[in-house]
Structure 1
Amino acid sequence: MSVVKPRASVIIPVYNGGRFLGEAIASVLAQTYTDWELIVVDDGSTEAIEPVIAPYGSRLRYIRQENQGVAVARNRGLEVARGEFIAFLDQDDWFEPDKFEVQVAALQESPHLGLVHSGWFVVDAAGERLSTVNPREGIPELDLAAWLLWKPVFLGAMLFRRSCFEGVGGFDAAFEQAPDVDLVLRLALTGYESAWVPQMTVHYRQHEENASRAAQRQVHECERVLDRIFHQPQYAAEIGHLEFQARYNNLVWGAWRLYRVGQLAAMREFLLRSLQYRSQSKTEVILNWIHCFERYEREYGIELNIQYLMKALNWQDLMI
């Protein structure tokens, strides 16, 4: 007797953070599209996760492994997932109820697509909305150049076709903070096509325990991702002309991430390094830095504190 497989699989990697996990799970259970399975992979939590998931019984599959990092946890979920479509949800975020309905339909209507993407809502620890991030407005086409230059990667807003992982493998465990960026850029470089859906599909929660707050490691790993890509000679003719802009964008974004967590000396070093990838005057580049910082801050519902930035000694050193 054949086993009926679910059409979509949701993988939630968990490491502690049980206070938000129930809300993440509930958002999957509330989907208007119902042909899915839910896999929770506990990456060696030191908190008790079982009591959080116990009330859901057979509505999810729970796997526990020794702590090996989020990339390995996601790969473990992929190993047991049975769906044609794959979604990832972090333990502190939650889906909009129509995420699957919208994104499964998009992949079914466009068989050439490997993945679909969307914008997202940024919320605070209590779940109150701070802002709406809609990268589609500035990046209407998700082609290879867009992925390399801007890296608009947020796994929770994406839905993948299983064939993507069969084509390039899973997440690279060498990356602790940027395995998602590495994976999506490898997919784009291999030729998997992607497109936007207009709806927002996920809520991205900001709180004091976010893994993405490990800013130094995150920005250095994004540099390593670009190093790996641009050091491959077989792609030089196709993407070589994008390298300077991609590296500049990454350094300025990294500088902003470091500014956001108060690491102003490291911010200064990243901005200084970005100068080598621009041909404009220093004044023009500095104005561009400010513009970029303002845009990144707005995405999180924050107004850039220009006075604080201008008074910082590490910023003033850049003006010399």
Structure 2
Amino acid sequence: MKLPLISIVTPSYNQAQFIAATIDSVLSQDYPNLEYFVMDGGSTDGTIEILKSYGAKINWESNKDAGQADAINQGLRKSRGEILAYLNSDDIYLPGTLKRVGEYYARTQADWITGDCLTIDESGKPSKNNWLISGYKRFLMALYSPLTLRIADSMLPQPSTFWSRRAFKQVGEFNEKYHYVMDYDYWLRMAKYYRPHDLKTVLSGFRTHAGSKSETSRDQLMAEALLALKANGTKSWQITLHSLHSGLVRFIYNLLK
């Protein structure tokens, strides 16, 4: 079986505490056909020294950028892979992830591939409520349709989602006006042409910590999600359902903290 070249991009800015774990999770994959780019936005916290320590094992550069989506786009423009993805600088891939994705693509030529995701804490351990979070995402994926995607923005776990170069050419680059929901906007655009293939296995770890956007910018995230929905032609009643769902999820999350 000929395995496709997989290109991974890590956008980075001042995540020295976690970025080595992210890089190691990529480099330790049992996958022979990989290219990896770290696009750093000019970190000042020791990240550059960490990147230098990897030598020729990674492709990286550090320059001021226009934000996370810009950094992702810069990396994707450099890429050559048949399969594309980005992994944030505080998240990780689980062992065997790229092999599972590559082999599935080789068999099916699927243009959009996703899987499960663990929620992990600062030390990398699964969060105590992971069973509930993962179970709910599994429930949502079982109900997937372009409509349910518009109602539940947390349906597809970003670090566990991959897409083909064909899809990239069809959908285009990430929208750089978004700083919190560039992934959700991309899934909404992708859903106009493709349906995600769910591997139904855990592929990544999504890290929650005091400095993460998901913890510090929830109001901005929800506001941007509404903008993305409107930009993608979502009807007003669907936006209302999305807001109700997001509010309920946020309420339950706060109860469990």
TM-score (norm 2): 0.89
Instruction: Output one character per residue of 1:232-264: Cα deviation in whole Å (capped at 9) or x when no partner.
Output: xxxxxxxx5xx52x323321344357xx5xxxx
Question: In the alignment, which residue of structure 2 is the partner of 1:284?
Answer: none
Looking at structure 1, the residues matched to 57 and 4 of structure 2 have their Cα atoms a distance apart, in angstroms, of 12
Between the two proteins, what is the percent identity of the paired residues? 23
Looking at structure 2, the residues matched to 8 and 16 of structure 1 have their Cα atoms a distance apart, in angstroms, of 26
Question: In the alignment, which residue of structure 2 is the partner of 1:20?
Answer: 18
Q: CA deviation at 1:136?
A: 2.9
Question: In the alignment, which residue of structure 2 is the partner of 1:314?
Answer: none
Q: Is the 8 A contact 2:152 2:246 kept in 1?
A: no
Q: CA deviation at 1:304?
A: 4.2
Flag structure 2 segments of 5+ consecutive residues without an equivalent: none
Aligned pairs for 1:206-245 within 5 A: 206-212=208-214, 213-230=216-233, 244=237
Compare relative contact order (CA 8 Å, sep 6+) and give the higher one, 1 or 2: 2
Aligned pairs for 1:169-318 within 5 A: 169-189=172-192, 191-212=193-214, 213-230=216-233, 244=237, 246-256=238-248, 293-294=251-252, 297=253, 304=256
Q: Is the 8 A contact 2:69 2:182 kept in 1?
A: yes
Question: In the alignment, which residue of structure 2 is the partner of 1:115?
Answer: 112
Looking at structure 2, the residues matched to 145 and 251 of structure 1 have their Cα atoms a distance apart, in angstroms, of 14
Match of 1:160 among 138, 160, 163: 163
Which secondary structure does the structure 2 equivalent of 1:19 belong to? coil
Instruction: Output one character per residue of 1:162-191: Cα deviation in whole Å (capped at 9) or x when no partner.
Output: 1222112111111111111111101112x1
Looking at structure 2, the residues matched to 147 and 254 of structure 1 have their Cα atoms a distance apart, in angstroms, of 12
Q: Comparing 148-157 with 221-230, which one deviates more in the overlay?
A: 148-157
Which secondary structure does the structure 2 equivalent of 1:122 belong to? strand
Q: Is the 8 A contact 2:85 2:161 kept in 1?
A: yes
Larger radius of gyration: 1
* Counterpart code for 1:57: G
Which secondary structure does the structure 1 equivalent of 2:204 belong to? strand
TM-score (norm 1): 0.72
Looking at structure 2, the residues matched to 204 and 141 of structure 1 have their Cα atoms a distance apart, in angstroms, of 22
Q: How many residues align?
A: 248
Match of 2:28 among 27, 30, 44: 30
Q: CA deviation at 1:157?
A: 0.7
Question: RMSD across aligned C-alpha pairs, in angstroms?
Answer: 2.1
* Counterpart code for 2:242: N
* Counterpart code for 1:64: S
Instruction: Output one character per residue of 1:123-145: Cα deviation in whole Å (capped at 9) or x when no partner.
Output: 11111211141523332254322
Flag structure 1 segments of 5+ consecutive residues without an equivalent: 232-239, 261-292, 306-320
Question: In the alignment, which residue of structure 1 is the partner of 2:121?
Answer: 124
Structure with the higher fraction of residues in helix conformation: 1
* Counterpart code for 2:114: H
Instruction: Output one character per residue of 1:34-83: Cα deviation in whole Å (capped at 9) or x when no partner.
Output: 21011000012232322112221111101222131000000000010111
* Counterpart code for 2:16: G
Q: CA deviation at 1:6?
A: 7.2
Q: Is the 8 A contact 2:152 2:245 kept in 1?
A: no
Which secondary structure does the structure 1 equivalent of 2:205 belong to? strand
Match of 2:43 among 37, 42, 45: 45
Question: In the alignment, which residue of structure 2 is the partner of 1:290?
Answer: none
Instruction: Output one character per residue of 1:62-113: Cα deviation in whole Å (capped at 9) or x when no partner.
Output: 12221310000000000101111112111111100111111122222222x3
